[in-house]
């Protein structure tokens, strides 16, 4: 019994939600009964809703600071005229768990078009509210804002994605490059909340996570739609989305540690804006845009476990071969994420 | 104990809630699908004995399937001029609903004069809603309900009810199949509703359903509906910005009238989970580089997406504020569901 439990727990630790979802209810019931045994690995597996929400908070710190810097030229904790005029929340960095860090890089984008500027402002305001919501919900359990790199991180990722002149890429240079920078985050946010939803135990937390998942998908749809309108033929920034998605998929698959993808986590688990062929009502094929990032069979958005997400936002820092590296360090999180004792980093 | 036991416990608590309501008030009569939104792990409840009349995961997925039939028919007609293949509409062998409905096409037709990229966008959404129909039918297997009767000519009366009488031409005729811009308003009617319907349903899925992957599937479809809604709202906003004013692009205002109508139809029933009443976010027209857009439909306080109860969704798709309505609007003979009647 213990061996079986250990194996099940190992699977859960290794692969997160995906594996658990495939377990029969009987296995789950057996696990429940046996979980009082003082297994070291059982303790590792008994993360709480707070651990999951803190993982989300790290990502929201990242997103919110990116959008605040792009839209207003400031970080979430330092209001300026632009952020106040937009009604963006000033965030008191009240999280204390872990090591506080600083935000480096980033500057206000010299927007020239109203659609992109207005979307940046809206998104900044909304991501700020997500940070505040999670900080408030977590209270004294909230993690501190970790060190966040919003400068050279983009050049590192752009280079890894083979974007032309990636070493000179800046998401703060223009409306177009801002959209590419935003693209890096939004679909990842969707997959992270999707992966987390099934792990939450409190109904109220699930409702909140589902609601934030929806907002991240609205944002992702917004970004993809706007890029499609600007570059419908995929010759510039829409083409970059394909490169970025290819990189994200590779990092995500590495985060699976050799375990086959689950039913909603096909390989690849990420698609850029390149059109694809679809069959409608059994008739002839037609070309379609890809404004939705989802599996092409069931059209259900992808879900990622925390290791997959960490491996993306750290540019491969979460995995060494088939071994998890914790804390994962790199790219956007140069000192890693902050987490509680059983949390994800 | 640990999160797995808690997961099971919370699922059982939800079952108990649903079962209790079903037992006390009759099958679906008083079902308030958000009533279990509280902290069910803090006060553990004993394992219940589900009553035969308690809604099942299949009931919840089948309700979603009715909505997906509607969306798929709308988008397929708009993209191609014809609807779902007959094989995608049949009754599962164990379904109590046997009759496959028909589509009243009305003016439904392929939207004319689309650019290449616009056509590709319609193709994508049509394909994706068709895929959701097929996925849900596959997941439900023999329990899948057949397509109910669907009336795609309801857009006209809905527009009249929403007082959309002067959009674009001033002719007073609202036909979502007549142009790309009208199509956007037509899609707008459904998309935010789809998002909120899945948000409302996700926490109701049982522990067994969670283990079977239904929750992650529902959450994943929720995300896709939100991608679509983001697309529709971004397009309406972007085209209004390009036109320069609401009067030059009346479709933005038309979409907001749809939101007003949706709110009216659910008046008195709008207490959404984790929000304070309104589940609508009106579109705005930014006219400078320092104004925000209003693409995301979410609570103003927390930027958390809304949820709607089954009852609220029914009021909208039936086009009726009446309690006890069994049919109407897009579903002239009701949905094929235990949740077919508006209850509050």
> What are the DSSP calls for A244-309, one per residue?
HHHHHHHHHHHTTTTPPP-TT-PSS----S--EEEE-TTS-EEEE---S-B-TTT--B----HHHH
Residue pair A66/A106 in contact (Cβ under 8 Å)? The answer is yes
- In chain B, count of helices (H) and strands (E)? 9, 2
Nearest Cβ partner for A29 among B8, B84, B290: B8
- The distance of Cα B212 from the centroid of its chain, to the nearest Å, equals 23
Nearest Cβ partner for A287 among B2, B14, B123: B123
Query: What is the per-residue burial (b if ≥16 Cβ within 10 Å, else e) of B163-179?
Result: ebeebbeeeebbbbbbb
Task: Please indicate, yes or no, whether residues A62 and A151 belong to a single structural domain of this protein.
Answer: yes
Q: Which of B341, B344, B270 is nearest to B28 (CA)?
A: B341
CB-side neighbour CA atoms (13 Å) of A29: 8
The Cα angle at residue A7 between residues A6 and A10, in degrees rounded to 5: 85
- The answer as to whether A332 is a domain residue is no
Task: Find the range with the poorest average confidence among A212-216, B265-269, B316-320, B322-326.
Answer: B265-269
Tell which wins on pLDDT, B46 or A74: A74
Dihedrals phi, psi of A100, to nearest 5 degrees: -65, 145
- The answer as to whether A235 is a domain residue is yes
Question: What ipTM, to 2 d.p.?
Answer: 0.85
Residues contacting residue A88 through CB under 8 Å, at least 6 positions apart: A68, A71, A72, A79, A121, A124, A125, A128
- In chain A, count of helices (H) and strands (E)? 12, 6
The number of distinct structural domains making up chain A is 2
- The answer as to whether A345 is a domain residue is no
Task: Please indicate, yes or no, whether residues A60 and A119 belong to a single structural domain of this protein.
Answer: yes
Nearest Cβ partner for B216 among A198, A220, A229: A198
Query: Span B222-226, mean pLDDT?
Result: 92
Query: Span B83-105, mean pLDDT?
Result: 96
Name the DSSP class of A333. Answer: B
Residues contacting residue B238 through CB under 8 Å, at least 6 positions apart: A115, A225, A226, A229
Shortest Cα distance from A292 to chain B (angstroms)? 6
- What distance in Å separates the CA atoms of residue B285 and residue A124, rounded to the nearest whole number? 18
Rounded to 10 degrees, what is the CA torsion of A122, A126, A132, A137? Answer: 170
- What distance in Å separates the CA atoms of residue A286 and residue A279, rounded to the nearest whole number? 6
Task: Please indicate, yes or no, whether residues A39 and A116 belong to a single structural domain of this protein.
Answer: no
Average model confidence (pLDDT) across chain A: 85
CB contact under 8 A, A281 and B237: no
Shortest Cα distance from B4 to chain A (angstroms)? 6
Chain B CB contacts of A20 under 8 Å are: 4, 211
Shortest Cα distance from A143 to chain B (angstroms)? 19
Nearest CA in chain B to A220: B227
- The answer as to whether A334 is a domain residue is no
CB contact under 8 A, A221 and B79: no
pLDDT, position B47:
43
- The distance of Cα A223 from the centroid of its chain, to the nearest Å, equals 15
Nearest CA in chain B to A83: B290
Pairing of strands B150-151, B103-104: parallel
Q: How many CB pairs under 8 A join A and B?
A: 323
Task: Please indicate, yes or no, whether residues A82 and A204 belong to a single structural domain of this protein.
Answer: yes
pLDDT, position B204:
83
Name the DSSP class of B110. Answer: P
Chain A CB contacts of B243 under 8 Å are: none
B11: pLDDT confidence band, cut at 50, 70 and 90? very low
Q: Which of B107, B294, B283 is nearest to B183 (CA)?
A: B107
Nearest Cβ partner for A300 among B6, B224, B274: B224
Q: Which two tokens stand for residue B254?
A: 């038309």
pLDDT, position B178:
93
pLDDT, position A283:
73
Chain B CB contacts of A291 under 8 Å are: 121, 124, 227-228, 231
Domain boundaries, chain B: 1-55, 57-318
Chain B CB contacts of A297 under 8 Å are: 131
Chain B CB contacts of A302 under 8 Å are: 220
**3-state DSSP assignment of residue B25:** helix
**Which candidate in A118, A119, A127, A277 is best for mutational testing of the B interface (most B CBs within 10 A)?**
A118
Nearest Cβ partner for A210 among B8, B202, B299: B202
Shortest Cα distance from A335 to chain B (angstroms)? 29
CB contact under 8 A, B4 and A35: yes
**3-state DSSP assignment of residue A320:** strand
CB contact under 8 A, B207 and A25: yes
3-state helix, strand, coil in chain A (%, to 5): 55, 5, 40
Percent residues over pLDDT 90 in chain B:
54
CB contact under 8 A, A221 and B231: yes
The H-or-E segment that residue A114 falls in is: helix A114-138
Task: Please indicate, yes or no, whether residues A173 and A28 belong to a single structural domain of this protein.
Answer: no
CB contact under 8 A, A294 and B220: yes
Query: Span A283-293, mean pLDDT?
Result: 89
CB contact under 8 A, A133 and B303: yes
Sign of the dihedral defined by the CA atoms of residues A237, A329, A200, B8, in that order: positive
The Cα angle at residue A171 between residues A170 and A176, in degrees rounded to 5: 115
CB contact under 8 A, A214 and B226: yes
CB contact under 8 A, B305 and A222: no
Task: Please indicate, yes or no, whether residues A37 and A133 belong to a single structural domain of this protein.
Answer: no
Nearest Cβ partner for A21 among B79, B130, B216: B216
Tell which wins on pLDDT, A258 or A16: A258
Task: Please indicate, yes or no, whether residues A53 and A143 belong to a single structural domain of this protein.
Answer: yes
- What distance in Å separates the CA atoms of residue A6 and residue A42, rounded to the nearest whole number? 8
Range of the domain at A241: 49-324
Torsion region of B305: left, alpha or beta (phi above 0 gives left; psi -120 to 50 gives alpha): beta
Placement of tokens 């009443």 in the chain: B277
B283: pLDDT confidence band, cut at 50, 70 and 90? very high
Percent residues over pLDDT 70 in chain B:
79
Q: Which two tokens stand for residue B100?
A: 């496959």
Residue A2 vs residues A22, A34, B114: alpha-carbon distances, Å: 20, 8, 63
* DSSP track, B49-62: ---TTS--HHHHHH
Shortest Cα distance from B182 to chain A (angstroms)? 18
Q: Which two tokens stand for residue A271?
A: 């698609």
Task: Please indicate, yes or no, whether residues A19 and A100 belong to a single structural domain of this protein.
Answer: no
pLDDT, position A198:
77
Percent residues over pLDDT 90 in chain A:
69
B267: pLDDT confidence band, cut at 50, 70 and 90? low
Other CB atoms within a 10 A radius of the CB of residue A306 amount to: 28
Residues contacting residue A237 through CB under 8 Å, at least 6 positions apart: A176, A177, A179, A180, A227, A230, A231
Shortest Cα distance from B239 to chain A (angstroms)? 9
In the predicted structure, residue A144 carries a pLDDT above the cut 80: yes
Nearest Cβ partner for A198 among B87, B126, B210: B210
Query: What does the radius of gyration of chain A's CA atoms come to, in whole angstroms?
Result: 20
Residue B94's Cβ-count burial label (10 Å; 0-12, 13-18, 19+) is exposed
* DSSP track, A200-233: ---HHHHHHHHHHHHHHHHHHHHHHHHHHHH-TT
Task: Please indicate, yes or no, whether residues A251 and A275 belong to a single structural domain of this protein.
Answer: yes
Sign of the dihedral defined by the CA atoms of residues A322, A327, A329, A333, in that order: positive
In the predicted structure, residue B43 carries a pLDDT above the cut 50: no
Query: Span B183-211, mean pLDDT?
Result: 87
- What distance in Å separates the CA atoms of residue A64 and residue A175, rounded to the nearest whole number? 18
Residues contacting residue A244 through CB under 8 Å, at least 6 positions apart: A157, A161, A163, A180, A183, A184, A272
CB contact under 8 A, B10 and A263: no
pLDDT, position B50:
38
- What distance in Å separates the CA atoms of residue A244 and residue A143, rounded to the nearest whole number? 29
Residue B305 vs residues A194, B14, B61, B203, B261: alpha-carbon distances, Å: 14, 22, 21, 14, 19
Residue B93 vs residues A304, B87, B146: alpha-carbon distances, Å: 35, 14, 10
- The answer as to whether A337 is a domain residue is no
Residue pair A50/B233 in contact (Cβ under 8 Å)? The answer is no
Chain B CB contacts of A5 under 8 Å are: none
CB contact under 8 A, A45 and B296: no
Task: Please indicate, yes or no, whether residues A139 and A206 belong to a single structural domain of this protein.
Answer: yes
Nearest CA in chain A to B198: A210
pLDDT, position B330:
96
């Amino acid at each position: 019994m213990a061996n079986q439990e250990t194996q099940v727990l190992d699977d859960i630790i290794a692969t997160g939600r995906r594996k658990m979802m495939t377990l029969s209810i009987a296995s789950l019931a057996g696990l429940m009964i046996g979980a009082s045994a003082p297994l070291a690995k059982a303790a590792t597996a008994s993360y709480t809703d707070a651990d999951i929400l803190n993982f989300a908070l790290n990502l929201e710190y990242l997103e919110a600071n990116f959008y605040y810097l792009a839209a207003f030229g400031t970080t979430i904790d330092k209001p300026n005229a632009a952020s106040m005029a937009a009604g963006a929340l000033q965030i008191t960095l009240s999280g204390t768990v872990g090591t506080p860090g600083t935000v480096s890089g980033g500057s206000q984008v010299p927007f020239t078009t109203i659609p992109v500027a207005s979307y940046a402002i809206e998104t900044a305001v909304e991501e700020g509210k997500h940070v505040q919501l999670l900080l408030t919900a977590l209270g004294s359990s909230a993690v501190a804002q970790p060190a966040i790199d919003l400068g050279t991180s983009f050049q590192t990722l752009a280079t890894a994605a083979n974007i032309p002149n990636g070493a000179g890429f800046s998401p703060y240079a223009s409306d177009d490059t801002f959209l590419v920078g935003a693209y890096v985050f939004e679909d990842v946010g969707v997959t992270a909340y999707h992966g987390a939803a099934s792990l939450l135990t409190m109904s109220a937390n699930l409702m909140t996570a589902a609601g934030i998942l929806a907002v991240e998908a609205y944002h992702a749809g917004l970004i993809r739609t706007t890029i499609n309108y600007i570059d419908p033929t995929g010759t510039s920034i829409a083409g970059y989305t394909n490169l970025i998605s290819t990189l994200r998929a590779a990092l995500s698959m590495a985060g699976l540690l050799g375990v086959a993808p689950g039913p909603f986590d096909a390989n690849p688990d990420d698609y850029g804006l390149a059109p694809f062929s679809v069959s409608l009502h059994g008739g002839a094929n037609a070309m379609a845009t890809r404004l939705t990032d989802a599996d092409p069979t069931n059209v259900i958005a992808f879900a990622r476990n925390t290791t997959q997400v960490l491996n993306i936002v750290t540019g491969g820092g979460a995995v060494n071969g088939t071994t998890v590296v914790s804390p994962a360090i790199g790219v956007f999180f140069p000192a890693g994420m902050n987490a509680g004792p059983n949390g994800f980093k | 104990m640990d999160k797995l036991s808690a997961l099971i416990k919370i699922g059982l608590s939800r079952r108990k809630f649903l079962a209790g309501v079903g037992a006390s008030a009759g099958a679906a009569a008083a079902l308030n699908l958000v009533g279990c939104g509280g902290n069910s792990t803090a006060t553990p409840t004993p394992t219940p004995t589900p009553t035969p009349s308690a809604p099942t995961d299949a009931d919840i997925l089948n309700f979603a399937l009715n909505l997906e039939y509607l969306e798929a028919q709308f988008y397929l007609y708009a993209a191609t001029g014809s609807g779902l293949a007959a094989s995608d509409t049949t009754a599962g062998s164990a379904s109590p609903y046997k009759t496959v409905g028909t589509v009243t096409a009305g003016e439904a037709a392929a939207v004319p004069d689309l650019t290449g990229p616009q056509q590709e966008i319609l193709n994508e959404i049509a394909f994706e809603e068709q895929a959701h129909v097929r996925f849900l039918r596959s997941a439900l297997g023999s329990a899948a309900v057949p397509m109910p009767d669907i009336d795609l000519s309801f857009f006209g009366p809905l527009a009249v009810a929403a007082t959309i009488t002067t959009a674009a031409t001033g002719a007073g005729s609202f036909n979502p199949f007549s142009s790309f811009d009208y199509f956007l308003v037509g899609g707008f009617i459904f998309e935010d509703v789809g998002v909120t319907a899945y948000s409302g349903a996700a926490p109701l899925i049982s522990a067994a359903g969670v283990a079977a992957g239904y929750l992650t599937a529902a959450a994943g479809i929720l995300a896709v509906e939100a991608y679509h809604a983001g697309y529709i709202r971004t397009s309406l906003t972007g085209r209004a910005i390009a036109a320069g004013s609401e009067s030059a692009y009346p479709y933005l205002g038309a979409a907001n009238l749809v939101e007003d109508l949706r709110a009216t139809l659910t008046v008195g029933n709008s207490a959404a989970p984790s929000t304070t009443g309104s589940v609508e976010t009106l579109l705005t027209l930014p006219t400078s580089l320092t104004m925000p857009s209003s693409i995301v439909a979410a609570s103003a306080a927390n930027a958390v997406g809304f949820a709607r109860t089954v009852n609220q969704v029914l009021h909208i798709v039936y086009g009726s504020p009446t309690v006890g309505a069994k049919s109407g609007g897009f579903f002239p003979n009701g949905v094929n569901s235990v949740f077919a009647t508006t209850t509050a």
